[in-house]
Structure 1
Amino acid sequence: MKKLTVLVLFVVMCFSLLMACGSSGSEKPANSPTTTTTTTTTETAAPNATEEVIEPEVYENGLSKEEKVILKVGLWESGSGRAWIDLAMEQFIAKYPNVTFDLTSTPTLETILEPKIAAGNDDDMFDLFMPRFSANGALDRLVEAGKIESQDDLWERELPDGSGKTLRSVISDDFYNNATSAGMTARVPVVGFNSGLFFDQQLFDEKGWNKNPNTWDEFVSLLEQIKSDGIIPITFPGVYAGYLTDYVFQVLQFDLAKANGTFDTYVANFRNYDGPQITTEENKEAWNRMYQFGKNGYFPAGVAALNHTQSQMQVMQHKAAMVATGDWVGNEMKESTPAGFTWGFMSIPVTNDSNQTVFVNAGTGDVSFAIWKNKPELTKQWAKEFILSLYNFEIQESLAVDAGSYPGRLDYSEDPARVEKLQPTQKAVMEYSTKHNVEYISYQRNFALTSPEEGQAVKILNELITAVATGKKDPLPVLEEAEKLRQAAIAKDRP
């Protein structure tokens, strides 16, 4: 009996212990935290084994809320200023607090960017940067060398403003085409621009000068009247002489082709580098008219020493009547603009047909970012998110109001209140277009020339501008020399 009693007690004790062990894992306090578990089964794992995994929190774009990222940004701080990007970074950080920025902002970005690229230190390189270089074709060469991240995937992304619109649906064909370098999207332009001759409407009114010449003769008569009043008719920065050709006279070749009835063919040849490029009859005529203006004394005698702000200041001080520049000039010179000064705009009519088409140079602005390829994948993903955020209306409006740029979004003008906020220079271009048969045109090409011969052609053309504008040098021999170099480059670089 004693043995039986001991055995019974032993069984009861074991049973009690088993019950206690079974209940201890299932009874939790009411305030115990809840965890998410996933069950994984392998050939070696026990059938009921579980692995406790805490799912990371992510944003609506699928990127982690927890992983910290610092984006190193290289900004070319041009006449557009930097208020817009300060706002963009502030809003981005508010929405994505795990992302911060290390911004380098300078008007001479190329002096920092190019040494970084040459050093070859990917860690020290900007994550995203404005592709501002001292040599033509530099971005294309970087793309071909595999140094630039493709942004092709951004086009079909929906904008983060909740509109449901894709990036591609709200930009122009020019924007889309200009984003391509060596066959891929190397940058996404965010703003546009218009260029031509800008002036003070108040001065024109006081002098009785024609603010809207409709024909070539009327335009030349205007220049003669301005000169007779002791004021320089047209100024430009000789230090950056391309302001005169790129923003004013280069567009004349398209006006002339339109007048000749050859516009479509001419533009196709221009875009595709087919046939002569520099020595077309239309382009030679444009240079010859600039040469005649130079011999007539319509440009400043000491123009070679002027930079862009100095030439624009000549208009502010009424030493010159008009300046060759872009519509960012109002923002660039806002601190120097005198009371009563109101910007006006005109392009040059090339025939004596008062109903002629007048072309205005328009293009994609400098606000665009390339992404360095040899960066961590997460960094590049966040860089793309930031670029996409620049198309939010708040940032587009800041680029218009604070930076004096044409917004990149085609649907920006759907809100009259936003249009009303445009700066005076943009309004002046719009007003001009209502009084003339205006067409906007860009100098977009379908592929880039990167060979040394193209660099030589550009160099001798740039050196030619001030000599022609002061009436000292017939442009034709140099145009023929530049044509030979460009044709050599085309033969090498054509895809």
Structure 2
Amino acid sequence: MGKTARHLRPLAALLGAALALSTTACGGATDASSAAEAVDISGSISGQTINYWSMWKDGEPQQKVIATAIADFEKETGAKVSVQWQGRSNTEKLVPALNTNNVPDLVDGTLAKLAPVIGETGQASPLTSVYSYELDGKTVSSVIPEKFTSNGVFKGEDGQPWMVPYSISSDGIWFDAAKHPELKATPPATWDEFIEVLDKLKAGGTAPIAADGDIAGYNSTWFVTSLLRLKGAGSFKALAEDKSGAGWDDPAVLEAAQKVETLVKGGYLNSGYNASKFPAQQQLWANGDAALILNGSWTPTETGSYAAPGFEYSSFQFPAIGDKPASARVDFIGFAVPAKSKNQVPAQRLAAYLLGAKYQDALGTDAKVLPVRQDAPVDPAVASVKAAIDAAPATHLQNDGVTFPGYTEKVFFPRSDELFLGKTTASEFVAKMKEAQIQYWKDNG
């Protein structure tokens, strides 16, 4: 697995770790953040120092882009950036630091990891001034697509934003366009068309879908996205937060589970997927031994070193089921500034700085990831995902943004795995989820 995608591979696994940590983070220091207010970041910051804890490791593509931005920022502003390239453990290290007076001025990470630790605990500074700051003659808020911010995902209880994203990730059903030009020319738009494609692949002797069955976050995407296609973005979160469990009686929920059951019973999943160990199935897909894989926008980078010669990365979105507008999954990576930061102004300026066109373009073309700016170019390998996001009327987070402590890893994932691995039927899955969810909310208020 490539360095670039390691933090994203199962985002769900990271989310579970973050949620476990959040109970610790909630235990202290929230009183210190109550005085946090928006600050004016337009003045001189020459001579000031920023202590930045980065989620990237030295040598990673994103790290190289950010390091260039830091060098330019220091030259332009006269400020000094003391950066620690800590890697994915930076958020875990932040938890104990928040309970002291020795906190970083700036930290980055996925929304899934930052939200429970700092965003939802009142320990982040409002970044209102970052969003109104001008770069390249445009405000930061104007270069971030409105559909990313309209649902308030970056806002705290006070209504002010605590996070500013600088890159995104998404997913799609990936294929080799050189081998399957018909899928690029006419991708299946509906579930019925999707099944027709799978039948043709199967009849032609090609394994239709590869899947590493030991990755719960990947397995669950089939059910969650099916439900979102049936009922719209936000429907899985609404289902999960239903303390009565009655939502699981909705026929649409059973229908979503039956879509997964269809893939299992129809023999559309590659032989051995239910006993595979990551990245075995991903590798055989990249080698051409299976046609499709539902995976993240990091797939080209992660599989590029072992893909078949001439492999042309392309993807199509999860097919429509019913008539609901199809949202695109968008997960975020961005900056937060702890309320206890002693250098608020330069820290927030640096957070804004990475939204500049030069660095957003570099993330897209050099790091080959998806920048948050819609006007930034991207590598051809991820162009299909960017086009889908640009065209989507709305967005949703992985697992529809469900962040209830312990819910995904203890309630949902084990039962979703049983469904996807063929160990339980759709109706059994629904019944088990209803029972487990009722018990979860009894135990967790």
Distance 2:278 2:366 in 1: 20
Which deviations, in whole Å up to 9, do the C-alpha atoms of 1:214-237 show, x marking residues without a partner? 443332122233234444322234
Distance 2:60 2:264 in 1: 28
Match of 1:331 in 2: 301
Match of 1:299 in 2: 269
Distance 1:409 1:138 in 2: 21
Distance 1:433 1:392 in 2: 20
Distance 2:66 2:388 in 1: 30
* The one of 348, 355, 359 aligned to 1:391: 355
Distance 1:462 1:295 in 2: 20
Which deviations, in whole Å up to 9, do the C-alpha atoms of 1:263-283 show, x marking residues without a partner? 699699679979965554323
- The structural deviation recorded for 1:197 is 0.5
Match of 1:129 in 2: 107
Match of 2:379 in 1: 423
Match of 1:477 in 2: 431
Match of 1:13 in 2: none
Count of residue pairs brought into register by the alignment: 397
Cα distance change of structure 1 residues 81 and 456 upon mapping to structure 2, 3 Å threshold = same
Distance 2:288 2:66 in 1: 33
* The one of 416, 420, 442 aligned to 1:465: 416
Q: Where do residues 312-391 of structure 1 align in structure 2 (5 Å cutoff)?
A: 312-350=282-320, 359-365=326-332, 367-376=333-342, 379-391=343-355
Distance 1:348 1:64 in 2: 47
**SS of equivalent to 2:396:** coil
**SS of equivalent to 1:464:** helix
Match of 2:174 in 1: 198
Q: Conserved in 2, the CA contact under 8 Å of 1:80 and 1:332?
A: no
Q: Letter of the 2:329 partner, please give it.
A: A
**SS of equivalent to 1:238:** coil
**SS of equivalent to 2:81:** strand
Answer with 1 or 2: which has the greater Rg.
1
- The structural deviation recorded for 1:317 is 0.8
Do residues 169 (structure 1) and 142 (structure 2) align?
Answer: yes
Distance 2:77 2:234 in 1: 50
Match of 2:194 in 1: 219
**SS of equivalent to 2:43:** coil
- The structural deviation recorded for 1:336 is 3.3
Q: Letter of the 1:285 partner, please give it.
A: E
Match of 1:149 in 2: 125
Cα distance change of structure 1 residues 84 and 141 upon mapping to structure 2, 3 Å threshold = closer
Do residues 96 (structure 1) and 77 (structure 2) align?
Answer: yes
Q: Letter of the 1:113 partner, please give it.
A: T
Distance 1:72 1:469 in 2: 41
Distance 1:219 1:337 in 2: 24
Distance 1:146 1:431 in 2: 36
Structure 2 unaligned segments of length 5 or more: list them.
1-40
Structure 1 unaligned segments of length 5 or more: list them.
1-59, 258-262, 413-417
Match of 1:255 in 2: 229
Q: Letter of the 1:335 partner, please give it.
A: S
**SS of equivalent to 1:192:** strand
Distance 1:431 1:146 in 2: 36
Distance 1:132 1:215 in 2: 31
Q: Conserved in 2, the CA contact under 8 Å of 1:461 and 1:478?
A: no
Cα distance change of structure 1 residues 358 and 179 upon mapping to structure 2, 3 Å threshold = closer
Distance 2:339 2:203 in 1: 58
- The structural deviation recorded for 1:330 is 1.9
**SS of equivalent to 1:190:** strand
Distance 2:371 2:56 in 1: 18
Match of 1:20 in 2: none
Q: Conserved in 2, the CA contact under 8 Å of 1:279 and 1:483?
A: no
Cα distance change of structure 1 residues 467 and 274 upon mapping to structure 2, 3 Å threshold = closer
Q: Where do residues 52-63 of structure 1 align in structure 2 (5 Å cutoff)?
A: 61-63=42-44
TM-score (norm: length of structure 2): 0.74
**SS of equivalent to 1:73:** strand
Identity of aligned residues (%): 20
* The one of 178, 181, 202 aligned to 2:153: 178
Which deviations, in whole Å up to 9, do the C-alpha atoms of 1:49-107 show, x marking residues without a partner? xxxxxxxxxxx93234234x14232215699743322222222122134312323242x
Distance 1:306 1:344 in 2: 24
- The structural deviation recorded for 1:199 is 0.8
Over the aligned positions, Cα root-mean-square deviation in angstroms equals 4.0
Match of 1:409 in 2: 373
Q: Conserved in 2, the CA contact under 8 Å of 1:71 and 1:128?
A: yes
Distance 1:142 1:214 in 2: 39
Do residues 75 (structure 1) and 55 (structure 2) align?
Answer: yes
* The one of 49, 61, 66 aligned to 1:85: 66
- The structural deviation recorded for 1:200 is 0.6
Which deviations, in whole Å up to 9, do the C-alpha atoms of 1:292-346 show, x marking residues without a partner? 2112232245445656654432221112211111223223333334431111212
Match of 1:24 in 2: none
Q: Letter of the 1:295 partner, please give it.
A: K
Q: Letter of the 2:199 partner, please give it.
A: E
**SS of equivalent to 2:355:** coil
Q: Letter of the 1:443 partner, please give it.
A: H
- The structural deviation recorded for 1:116 is 4.6
Match of 1:243 in 2: 218
Q: Conserved in 1, the CA contact under 8 Å of 2:411 and 2:436?
A: yes
Q: Conserved in 2, the CA contact under 8 Å of 1:139 and 1:181?
A: no
Larger RCO of the pair (alpha carbons < 8 Å, separation 6+): 2
Which deviations, in whole Å up to 9, do the C-alpha atoms of 1:198-254 show, x marking residues without a partner? 11112224x9999522443332122233234444322234343222433x5422223
Distance 1:170 1:350 in 2: 29
**SS of equivalent to 2:196:** helix
Match of 1:19 in 2: none
